[in-house]
Amino acid sequence: MADLPEQSKGQEHYERPLDELLAHRREKLARLVARGINPYPYKFERTHFSEEIKSSFAALEEKEVKVAGRIRSFREHGKSTFFHIQDDLGQIQIYAKADVLGQQYELLNDLDIGDFVGITGVVFKTHKGEISVRAAKLEILAKSLRPLPEKWHGLKDVELRYRQRYVDLIATSGVKEVFVQRTAIYRAMREYLDGQGFLEVETPILQPLYGGAAARPFKTFHNALGIPLFLRIADELYLKRLIVGGYEKVYEVCKDFRNEGLSRFHNPEFSMMELYWAYHDYRDIMKLTKSLIVHIAQKVLGKLEVPHQGKTINLAGEWKEISLLDSIQEATGLDCLKMDEKGLAAAVRKMGLEVPANPTWGVLVDILFSEKVQPGLLAPTFVTDYPAEISPLAKKHRSNPRLTERFELFIMGQEMANAFSELNDPIDQRERFASQLAQKEKGYEEAHVLDEDYLNALEFGMPPTGGLGVGLDRLVMFLTDQGSIRDVLFFPQMRPTDSESPEGT
């Protein structure tokens, strides 16, 4: 039988040095090749998945099937062997007997946990009641040259999970299901928006000017045109050009890129959904946002009570709404509207918070909110009416021109969505851009750039419009009960290891 019996095959990486294991598997590979066996064939004609066999056992009992998957366990009993294979839907047990497989039974000597095999055999149920396949033919589909890990533990292994997601998907229970749910969330989102008459569109990722958010971009260069280009930081300005062009309901599911740090909630490449709805304002978008998220949760989870990091968030009923300035006053006692920049900066410093150089009143308000209010917003909360200085693309508030018609949605202390009554006055927009340029000259690197083509578009006329951006990675984190953005990205950005650093630095 195999060199490593069942009890050591599953634990081989604990009991033998890695170099020895790698060499041992390559020796097995060489033996297979010496027998004239191609250990990496081109195709296998599978007829059934594991779960199909289990669910249709009554119809398939004693019928021939062809199954394929990765070996996950071995158990030897004299001249017979039991092993499980894993396919896309689950696992099924294979029963291999020497007197049935003949010379092919010897191939089990050169198989390991992690190898892919194809099995032709008959469906039956063992004495213990486990639905299995009695192997009549065994085909090796891919020889695994590295042992699979048995478990993850400690910080280093968590890092390895993200760096080697392909192994994490094999070895860590529940990981695949998170990404299956992610796809279901996207599907439900599109289903809702399509059902509401929105048109899904695509806009440029490479842009001559970046805009639509306060962020630093990634910069590249187009050799043929001889011009710099930027990876988009948001879709907003191009989508609103489409509203100018005559579309009334558009959305895009996209990748955006921001040259910023890494954290539990930030990855420089992230996913957004942005939509724009002509003839509507931020109040209409607020209703749509709630309906959208409720639809997704009900469709994907089958309920509106969402467990997340030890708490349960109920999406049913009314969602809380509070103005940004009222939330700060409740938390700190400060009435920001009655304070100028100097007085507000002093109050912020007194609270032990860092104040940037040359801060605007709006930036100080945002600092207070982020530090003193946001962490406590666990239940779904719409925070409304943001300062104009930090909302250069939103219409001024009907009741106070220092504020804008803007809201952000917070759940579990994290921003999930951002929405405006979109600024469609080209003269006001030019003045806002000019103000942003002044901030940039004072050192605010993330200030918005002036986009003449966008202003040109607005001068052709854009109807009243409500816009929304939803951070999809954070929404997926919330609905799948994950604590880090890295847990919902197949391949998150990671800091390089010493061996991965340029020139070893």
- Per residue in 367-421, pLDDT (tens digit) is 999 999 999 999 999 999 999 999 999 999 999 999 999 999 999 999 999 999 9
38 SS3 class = coil
Give the helix, strand, coil percentages of the chain, each rounded to 5.
Answer: 40, 25, 35
Q: Report the 10 Å Cβ neighbour count for 74.
A: 23
- pLDDT, one tens digit per residue, over 410-464 is 999 999 999 999 999 999 999 999 988 888 777 777 778 889 999 999 999 999 9
- 8-state DSSP, 33: H
d(CA 322, CA 313): 18
Tokens of 131: 């639905």
CB contact at 8 A, 209 and 245? no
Residue 31 is predicted with a pLDDT of: 96
Residues 6+ apart with CB under 8 A from 169: 175, 176
- Check: CB of residue 23 under 8 Å from CB of residue 3: no
Residue 445 phi/psi, 5-degree rounding, is -65, -25
The amino acid sitting at 437 is L
- Which amino acid is located at 452 in the chain? E
pLDDT at 150: 67
Shortest CA distance to 258 belongs to which of 502, 471, 484, 483? 471
What pLDDT sits at residue 500? Answer: 59
Question: Residue 348: which of 337, 327, 332 has the closest Cα?
Answer: 332
Under DSSP, the state recorded for 303 is S
d(CA 165, CA 196) in angstroms, rounded, equals: 36
Q: For the chain, list residues with pLDDT below 70.
A: 1-16, 150-156, 498-505
CA R_g for the chain:
29
Distance CA 187, CA 63 (A): 36
Q: How many CB atoms lie within 10 A of CB 273?
A: 22
Residues 272, 233 contacting (CB under 8 angstroms):
no
- 251 and 198 Cβ atoms separated by less than 8 Å: yes
- Start-end of H helices in 376-471: 426-441, 452-459
User: Residue 445's pLDDT is what?
Assistant: 73
Query: Which residues, other chains included, contact 116 with Cβ-Cβ below 8 Å and sequence gap of 6+?
Result: 68, 69, 70, 71, 140, 141, 142, 144
Mapped onto helix, strand or coil, the DSSP state of residue 218 is coil
Query: What are the start-end ranges of the H helices in 355-451?
Result: 361-372, 426-441
**pLDDT, position 9:** 53
Instruction: State the amino acid at position 408 in one-letter form.
Output: E
298 touches 263 (CB < 8 A): no
Q: Where are the alpha helices (DSSP H) in 223-322?
A: 236-244, 282-301
Looking at residue 60, its pLDDT comes to: 97
Q: Which pLDDT score, from 0 to 100, does residue 437 have? A: 86
Exposed (0-12), middle (13-18) or buried (19+): which is 43, by Cβ within 10 Å? exposed
The amino acid that residue 123 corresponds to is V
Whether 267 and 253 have beta carbons less than 8 Å apart is answered as no
Vertex 487: Cα angle to 481 and 492 (nearest 5) = 150
pLDDT of residue 10: 47
Measuring CA to CA, which residue among 197, 196, 236, 195 is closest to residue 214?
Answer: 236
Could you tell me if 485 and 492 are in contact, meaning their C-beta atoms sit under 8 angstroms apart? yes
